[in-house]
């Protein structure tokens, strides 16, 4: 009976037509927005549990100034996204990992390694560079890249079961190629990994989000030009986000329009 219920649940789930919040078109996604939120909550809860167990500092204790900066940037970007009603929340963890992510449903995690003087990506105190990273990560959530990919890699017969188990477990097993759980520095950290298509879309959306929020989009080009010159281990942003000169060039091509948006937005944030 339980197996039958799972199959029926799966078929019901598949029968629902999902609309892409970004394009407004029908999309291949078996998950509802509510499922995205539940999945993200599980991922964040799992990460926080690991941080507490490893006695890592979080949020204000990790770095009060940068944490407040993260919150300020997120609050400015949220209303401008394609899904402003996600229950967004921001966290900072004192972990020497050069990375940041936004789980489905808007759960944002930034690691202090992002500002490491030797291995890092962002210049400490540079709000525009940090906004470029955060805007990009939020774009992954609003474009629903995790659940779209999970839908793609599941078959019609097992989609319902996978959806249920992914939400129950936090998605780390079923979405292993999306939010890898990596053991480093004595603890588990989540490391995002997306397709080139998803990265390109997040680059484009993130650039517009930050520009509309009054942050200089030139910072995004600067970041990826810097990233193209660096290499990192499997936990770094350089490994999880393919860093290349081509990526920086693609962003440069989008700059004229983004700069127009930014110049207009600056009037609001002066």
What is the full DSSP assignment across 191-205?
Answer: EE---HHHHHHHHHH
Average pLDDT, the chain: 82
CB atoms within 10 A of CB 182: 17
Share of the chain above pLDDT 90, in %: 52
Helix runs in 89-144, H state only: 127-142
Report the alpha-carbon distance of residue 267 to residue 261 in Å, rounded: 11
Helix runs in the chain, H state only: 2-15, 33-53, 60-77, 127-142, 145-152, 159-169, 196-212, 218-227, 237-240, 245-269
Report the alpha-carbon distance of residue 86 to residue 77 in Å, rounded: 12
pTM: 0.85
Question: Are 132 and 206 within 8 A, CB to CB?
Answer: yes
Greater pLDDT, 188 or 102: 102
- In a domain, residue 2? The reply is no
pLDDT of residue 173: 43
102: tokens are: 């936004």
- In a domain, residue 261? The reply is yes
Lowest mean pLDDT among 12-21, 127-136, 196-205: 12-21
Question: Are 39 and 170 within 8 A, CB to CB?
Answer: yes
- In a domain, residue 1? The reply is no
- In a domain, residue 259? The reply is yes
pLDDT tens readout for residues 37-75: 988 998 899 899 999 999 999 999 999 999 999 999 999
- In a domain, residue 98? The reply is yes
- In a domain, residue 220? The reply is yes
Count how many domains the chain has.
Answer: 1
Domain that holds residue 105: 9-269
129: tokens are: 């560079």
- In a domain, residue 15? The reply is yes
Lowest mean pLDDT among 144-148, 199-203, 231-235: 231-235
pLDDT tens readout for residues 203-221: 999 999 999 999 999 999 9
- In a domain, residue 225? The reply is yes
Question: Are 138 and 81 within 8 A, CB to CB?
Answer: yes
pLDDT of residue 28: 77
What average pLDDT does this structure show over 93-103? Answer: 93
């Amino acid at each position: 009976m339980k197996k039958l219920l799972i199959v029926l649940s799966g078929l019901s789930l598949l029968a629902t037509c999902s609309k892409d919040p970004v394009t407004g078109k029908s999309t291949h996604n078996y998950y509802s927005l509510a499922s995205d939120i539940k999945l993200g909550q599980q991922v964040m809860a799992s990460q926080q549990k690991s941080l507490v167990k490893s006695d890592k500092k979080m949020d204000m204790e990790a770095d009060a100034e940068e944490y407040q900066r993260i919150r300020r940037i997120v609050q400015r970007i949220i209303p401008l996204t394609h899904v402003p009603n996600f229950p967004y929340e921001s966290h900072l963890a004192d972990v020497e990992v050069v990375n940041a992510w936004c789980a489905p449903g808007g759960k944002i995690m930034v690691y202090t390694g992002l500002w490491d003087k030797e291995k890092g990506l962002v210049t400490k105190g540079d709000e525009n560079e940090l906004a470029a990273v955060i805007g990009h990560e939020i774009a992954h959530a609003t474009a629903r890249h995790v659940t779209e990919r999970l839908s793609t890699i599941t078959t019609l017969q097992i989609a319902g079961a996978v959806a249920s188990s992914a939400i129950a477990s936090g998605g780390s097993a079923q979405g292993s190629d999306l939010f890898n759980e990596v053991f480093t520095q004595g603890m588990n950290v989540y490391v995002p990994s997306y397709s080139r298509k998803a990265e390109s879309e997040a680059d484009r959306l993130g650039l517009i989000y930050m520009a509309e929020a009054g942050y200089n989009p030139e910072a995004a080009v600067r970041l990826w030009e810097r990233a193209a010159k660096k290499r990192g281990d499997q936990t770094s942003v350089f490994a999880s986000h393919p860093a290349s000169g081509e990526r920086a060039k693609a962003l440069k091509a989008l700059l004229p329009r983004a700069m127009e948006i930014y110049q207009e937005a600056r009037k609001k944030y002066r």
